[in-house]
Structure 1
Amino acid sequence: MTTTLTTEYWVVDEAGHLADPDLIAGLPGAAGTASPYSVAVETPPCERCVELEAALDARLAATVEAAHDRSCRLLGLGLRPDLLTESASPVTDQPPVATAGTRVSFEPDPAASTDLYNVLLALDPAFVLVNTTSRAADGQQYACGRPSLYHRGSIAQYRFGDVAVGGPSSNDTATAATDSSTDWQPVALLDDGSRVEWRSLDPTTPTLLVDLIADIKTILQQARHHRLSVDSFGNGFHGDRLVLPNEEWRAIYAQEAVEKGLSSLLVRAYLERLGVDTGWYLAATPPTVSAAADMSMVCRQHAAHLEADIGARQTS
């Protein structure tokens, strides 16, 4: 199953402020994002994680070097840094437009795309493993640009075995469900079901991204040999079945992840049942950033953390 990774990074100057868009325009990947303050790093389709890792490392290192030539640095934060300052406009229940993240695109056997969609939907709370940003104001909190009110679009029903699960049954349905600005859809079925895209992971370090994708692919491979079923809160791998949570519990897990991050024992226990070692991510993920921080200093620190991770990977 081939996998393509696209991750976006903000570009800041040496003082830790958003860089001049004229400088950013000449960087690799600048044309691949909707914001003049970010660049996109994309890998080719890769069958194995080791190939994905090598492609990501090479392209990200080249982009960082090109940024340095312009006295700029890449920043791995989910929300644009100037939106995280206390002086920014009040937060509503709509996700901010200026977000950066990661899209992981899988190309499964067409007969397996429905099951793949359902498993990835159940894995949505795994974004918390690499979450970098949160903000609380006016009773609302954001993580990775997500609304704390975990809306979902109107989506069709299909069946596998004797279990009905909410999900798009066609590309048209998937598109309709993702067009609304008030509805967050973490998974999309694209190109008539030939691609399934998992969306809006944080643009964190390559080590964390590659490890998370490896964990997800392991779960997807295991799922191929298990019968899928749905039972309230989801019990993970159990005998010959993979038990996924229903829509209500998916929303509960995602809400917990947004509000509490990896401190949520409920979310951690759920991900552990699916086979994810959450303790490793808890130790390795940089601290989340909030509005109370000195944003220019935080940007410099996170840019340095990203560069250190890239440097360590090149010498290992």
Structure 2
Amino acid sequence: MQKSIEVEYWVVDEDGELTEPEELTDVSENVEEEFVPPLFELKTPPCETYGDLRSAFVEQLDRVLRRADELDKRLVPFGTPVNGERIERWPTERGRIQKRVLGTNFDYAKYCAGTHLHFEKRNVVDQLNTLIGLDPALALLNSSPYFRGTRVANGARAYLYRKKCYEKFPKHGQLWEYADTVGEWERRLDRRYEEFSRAAVEAGIDEETVEAHFTPDDVVWTPVRLRDEMPTVEWRAPDAALPSQILRAAEEIDAVMEQLHHTNVRVGGTTGGVTEDEIVLPGFETLREYVNEAIHEGLESPDVAGYLERMGFDVQGYDPITPKIDGREYVTRSEACELRLEYAEMLRRDVSRLLRN
């Protein structure tokens, strides 16, 4: 089963100030600007094995870091920039429409950097439901508790996306319930598109303009998505994080995704667990409690840690960034710059270790 990684990293200068990627995006066709100037995205090609995925990811990052050295730039593995100047969006018609529909809440998205894992479509309903059930694993990669200097949650990015950015359109940005069929999932997408289109027209955007820039496939920003373009099932819940941590999560989630092709997947009970014989997903209301704790408490929640262990994760093997930088109610701009430089250096060392191994 093919799989791939996409990760967004903040770009800073030698002083830790946010800056644009500029020539960094010339490194390869798999590196590109994101929708705000200080972010860029690195994508791996689809890979058949985890070993190939690891090699592609590390080698591409190493190339980007070498080019960053030449440009006096650094890459920062935080889910948010912690604090800093206001971030503006690159001007696009799509962004303009979203801002008209979502209002000022849409601005929260400008401060979020994440990791996306793609898995080739096979048993699509089981894949969708399993990734929904694994959503609390976002806690494994929580990498910033701060939004514009203020502490908001163990996983600030997930909180901002799900609770703030799409507060007025929760079904467009929050976790969806398990699906019975692909057709049911697609009908949900159609309804979300219709809702968005109506809201855009009410906000003064003509329907033809909406149709030119949005489709049911790309009108939602839910943590689990079906992607026709790839075609993959995508899990987009976790923060940007250190590469070794992303790879650990990718390997363990890939193992579960491979197993579901050879075993039974069912929803039932409150505990959940992965065994040789079956994958059991907890009822959705229970799952939602785990997800909320993953966002607000991270791995410090015994319930979340226990659940993830039952679902096949070696929780003790993870070392998320949030607990290391947490503890302050407010982080100043200068302190944020220091943190960004500190963790940019950690990212560099992390990639060096991965290359040696």
- TM bin, normalised by shorter chain, reads 0.7 to 0.9
Runs (5+) with no aligned partner, structure 2: 87-103, 197-219
TM score, norm. by length of structure 1? 0.82
Match of 1:169 in 2: 184
Confirm or deny: 8 A CA contact 1:30 1:39 kept in the other structure: yes
Instruction: Report how far residue 240 of structure 1 moved.
Output: 3.1
Query: What's the % identity of the aligned pairs?
Result: 26
Which structure dedicates a bigger proportion of its chain to strand?
A: 1
User: Which of 113, 137, 154 lines up with 1:100 in the alignment?
Assistant: 113
Provide the rounded CA distance (Å) in 1 between the counterparts of 2:107 and 2:267: 29
Partner of 1:69: 70
**Which residue is 1:307 aligned to?**
348
Find the residue that maps to 1:233 and give its secondary structure.
coil
User: 1:181-232, CA deviations, whole angstroms, 9 ceiling, x for partnerless residues?
Assistant: xx86210012199420110322212211111111001112222232222124
Corresponding residue of 2:235? 198
Query: Helix, strand or coil for the counterpart of 1:100?
Result: coil
Secondary structure at the aligned position of 1:169 is classed as helix
Q: Distance in 1 between matches of 2:227 and 2:26?
A: 30
| Residue type of the alignment partner of 2:4 | T
Corresponding residue of 1:3: 3
Preserved CA contact (<8 Å) 1:21 1:36? yes
Residue 119 of structure 1 contacts residue 244 of structure 1 at CA under 8 Å; is this kept in 2? yes
Counterpart code for 2:9: Y
Q: CA deviation at 1:297?
A: 1.0
More helix by share: 2
How far 1:26 moved relative to its partner?
A: 5.7
C-alpha distance in structure 2 between counterparts of 1:59 and 1:22, whole Å = 17
Aligned-partner residue type, residue 117 of structure 1: L
- 1:260 and 2:297 equivalent? yes
Distance change >3 Å, CA 141–CA 130, structure 1 → 2? closer
The AA in structure 1 aligned to 2:119 is F
Letter in 2 for 1:108: K
Q: Which residue identity does 1:101 align to in structure 2?
A: G
RMSD over aligned Cα, in angstroms?
A: 3.5
CA contact (8 A) 1:174 1:189 kept: no
The answer (yes or no) to whether the contact 1:144–1:201 under 8 Å persists in 2 is no
Report Cα offsets for 1:250-271 as digits up to 9, x if no partner.
Answer: 2111110111111110000001
| Alignment deviations for residues 124-157 of structure 1 (CA, whole Å, 9 cap, x no partner) | 1101111101138999536251227767528687
Aligned match for 2:270, one of 208, 233, 240: 233
Partner SS, residue 217 of structure 1: helix
Structure 2: how far apart are the matches of 1:298 and 1:239? 43
Which letter maps to 1:13? D
1:278 lines up with 2:323 in the alignment: no
SS at match of 2:68: helix
Equivalent residue, structure 2, for 1:34: 35
